[in-house]
Structure 1
């Protein structure tokens, strides 16, 4: 077996990000206290593998080696070593075993982050949806399984998670290209609008690039419409409130990205958006 030091490497890949850096609640107070540790274990693992794929100092092969090692620990094929990245997989393995949540909700994420590590090109909207199927949708399915909710919620949950992922791509489109040489804008949309990736590096969005953004946001609007049904499929009252709040936040961020320029500065949710989300959560109480 390969020595642990060569598998895991010495470089610290942590981005320093935590749950408070996300657009949307991670294991918020609406999640029951008993389930919150499992949500935090899942988030910690997801944060590690995301940081591996986004690390600027690792080669693609080194990223893939680390991701494979994380998966091996998660599946019990390799012993964890005493360092935060390896232990996050071991902790999540224990959580999934205890709760009965399918391991696919964690291993599917690695499929997406392998693509990130390899630098896969997204040529079409369908390519982007396929990426989100693995990078985002497992998160919602993890929470649904954890709460022992019906599989009837999967379709709306997948729509919401895909919406959130594409919104994040739009927020970070310039930074992703600058730091990681990564672009999630479908190349066929870019070509049709007469723009290239270089247009993402400008200080403002050109009218042609705005057409690409708006086309993506049209698709996100459709996803948000599908996601609106999610609370109706959720029986647990607290989880239903959480879902309603996040659906509202997705809609609010979509509106902000319509009106604001992600190349001129990060488009972020505001206090007013949080108040709207709180109102949606309260309406979902009954």
Structure 2
């Protein structure tokens, strides 16, 4: 009887089913724990990725209510912080494994728990009223990833600003890539609503087969801001002492810039604007100057 009650309590928080998707690191837009990362550090990067992937899957699952998403996300964070025990499930165990990594390497837990703040925002908030609101979201959804990698490699605070700029730029170009899909499937829009209103653009226009003139102007306004972030991010490799991490950062800086340039030229409503293998080769070739 006691076991039944415990199972019911777990199900109340975690739900009966693990909703983790089958998305892998290779499916992401940008390299995750690539060969440029030292082999001794890759397991830590992979553990961080799996934790973030599970949280993302939780909040993007359309079968869960906002309240169910929040319960799972907060439980995941509690396990990470050692405040609660984890059930023997793949989703919950990602927090257990990452906690062990953080304890062993003496890493600050906020670079992982801050991600949960962003996912909780996604569970409750689906519209943004200003560019500053969007930057605040990126502060939790994207910037901790860069700070985790830098801390893992023993880099100092001087690299944090350019890293934040890069991570925010990556997040926003990803929003632009998926702007139509996010609105259609999740009823979520990261484009500042006043910017749409200024151009007389409705939300429905973001799901059209191609961008109207007004939508193009809004996207271009966002991309100009991303250009500024990319410009600042270009200083990041120069600030990183670890050679492998320096090359990794240089590659990602180059890829983000190339994807931003594609979005300036191509319409994300009319086609999937994405990087190619050739982009990766070019970015790696350009990064070699930081050897």
| TM-score, normalization by structure 2 | 0.96
Name the counterpart of 2:3. none
Residues 155-234 of structure 1 mapped to structure 2, 5 A cutoff? 155-234=161-240
Q: Secondary structure at the match of 2:87?
A: coil
Of 96, 104, 120, which residue of structure 2 is paired with 1:98? 104
Other-structure match for 2:125: 119
- Name segments (4+ residues, structure 1) moved above 3 Å: none
Q: Within 5 Å, which residues of 2 pair with 1:1-286?
A: 3-285=9-291
C-alpha contact (below 8 Å) 1:53/1:63 kept by paired residues: yes
> How many pairs does the alignment contain?
285
Any conservation in 2 of the 1:241–1:280 contact (CA below 8 Å)?
Answer: no
Whether the aligned pair in 1 keeps the contact of 2:126 and 2:190 (CA below 8 Å) is: no
Q: Verify the 8 A CA contact 1:137 1:162 in the aligned structure 2.
A: yes
1:120, distance to aligned residue in structure 2 (A): 4.1
Contact 1:26 1:39 in 2 (8 A): yes
Q: Give the TM-score, by structure 1 length.
A: 0.98
Gaps of 5+ in 2: 1-5
**Is the CA contact (8 Å cut-off) linking 1:195 and 1:209 kept in structure 2?**
yes
Aligned-partner SS, 1:266: coil
Q: What secondary structure sits across from 2:163 in the alignment?
A: helix
Contact 1:125–1:186, Cα closer than 8 Å, also in 2: yes
Retained in 1: the 8 A contact 2:13–2:71?
A: yes
**Equivalent-residue separation in structure 2 for 1:115 and 1:268 (angstroms):** 26
